Homo-oligomer: A and B are copies of this chain.
């Protein structure tokens, strides 16, 4: 990036930067406070504080919005647009991020913002109730209203090709339905073929691991996270009902996990997943932290990092070779179970066998994309008006049958399983598959750059992996778009080929009786 500033006075540039930095810092610090209120709610808050906590968070959200539409920020945005052509490239990139936030905040009339917030609150509450009561129709009227509002929201933001793009852009800037829809369809098709292939193999890998006490799982998980590079002096690990990672700043990154005695994989692999997010968040350059470039580049890029560490590194045979002795060391003698005999191969197979299942968050790497395709096509049909809300359960169930040959016994394990739609998060689901595709592309490039990478992983040299990711991905924060990052790192645009190749190669191992 150039450092010269042709056509702009140095004092003007300095003042402009100072004002822009102050606005971004205010918004970022408010968002850090919201992140803390939210983390605290999931991990520390007294049970009876729920109601006012929601109000406190909403007040701070409103202050962010008020700041972004304030007359001062309006004037700053106008100035930014005027001087944009004269700015150095790095400033231009920052200004683009600022203008995106500003335009998003001003695009919606206050009445729509208010109604969206109110409807989402009701929708989440009714979704919880409907899930508990196992009855989609308790949720349906709120979902109906939310879809109408999301359509309006998309119209306010504007789009070039399809209404869906305006929503997708909130999570994956620059991505379009016309790119992602065919890709995910092809991906699901390839995964179908792979699934059929696994079913024809005579050898079927073991699927079970022994139980282990929660406390032992937690310290084992923590050990693995720290080993791959999570810095416990700049973050924390706690329990919560649903695992998540949140960053208050690069020096304060907090992840959580959950634990079930019978299923140690959940705790350990939730932690490795969240570690991927946490490593990204901890390693964004500190000078970007209080700017709009201080987050990851997109949901897809962020998810590429969690899946990179959870699936590509964490479920590899190389990683299992390094990790199996540590599993044995931490779980040995616990609950009188045969952890002493755990081999790398046994662990590797138990982490990678393929099995269609009802719940997306429990799906394996192959069938996962069928879950995403189902959601993408349903939300698209809902937004386009080609599917009525009351027909959703039927569409869901027939999709599950078509894609995975499964028949959800009820709404709870069917179309009510995910919280996303109740939060108004339409356009979010595809970023999970996109993240997976990015991750495989990055992995292929890393293999090219470091040919013996698997041996290095098997001997626990994770610093090598982390420094590669820092240099190629983390260092730019959100200063580059997801497309720019992928192009720069891999020399290519989004493709399903690397993922398909990676997963097929892995399954060859998983489903071969000898390794």
Contact = CB atoms under 8 A, between A and B. Distances in A.
Contacts of A25: 55, 59
Interface in A211-270: 231-236, 248-249, 251-252
Interface stretch (A31-39, A170-178, A417-425): A31-39
A181 to B, nearest CB: 41
Contacts of A249: 49, 52-53, 56
A274 to B, nearest CB: 15
A185 interface: no
Contacts of A33: 33-34, 36-37, 56, 60
Chain A residues touching B, majority SS: helix
A44 interface: yes
A53 B233 contact: no
Interface in A408-426: none
Nearest to A249: B52
Nearest to A236: B46
Interface string A45-63: 1111101110110011011
A344 interface: no
Contacts of A251: 46, 48-49, 51-52
Contacts of A30: 59-60, 63
A26 interface: yes
Contact of A52 (B34, B37, B59, B252): B252
B234 A49 contact: yes
Nearest to A27: B59
Number of copies: 2
A114 interface: no
Interface in A78-104: none
- Interface residues of A toward B: which range? 35 or more
A236 B29 CA distance: 25
A233 B233 CA distance: 30
A478 interface: no
A29 B59 contact: yes
A289 interface: yes
A64 to B, nearest CB: 10
A204 B55 CA distance: 56
Contacts of A455: none
A232 B55 CA distance: 21
Given A33-B37, A36-B36, A40-B40, A252 B46 contact: yes
Interface string A276-300: 0000000000000110000000000
Interface in A284-320: 289-290
Contacts of A235: 46
Interface of A: 25-26, 29-30, 32-34, 36-37, 40, 44-49, 51-53, 55-56, 59-60, 62-63, 231-236, 248-249, 251-252, 289-290
14 contacts: A25-B55, A26-B59, A26-B62, A26-B63, A29-B60, A36-B36, A36-B37, A36-B40, A40-B40, A46-B233, A49-B234, A49-B251, A49-B252, A52-B249
Q: Sort A-B residue pairs by CB-CB distance and give the 3 closest, nearest first.
A: A49-B252, A29-B59, A33-B33
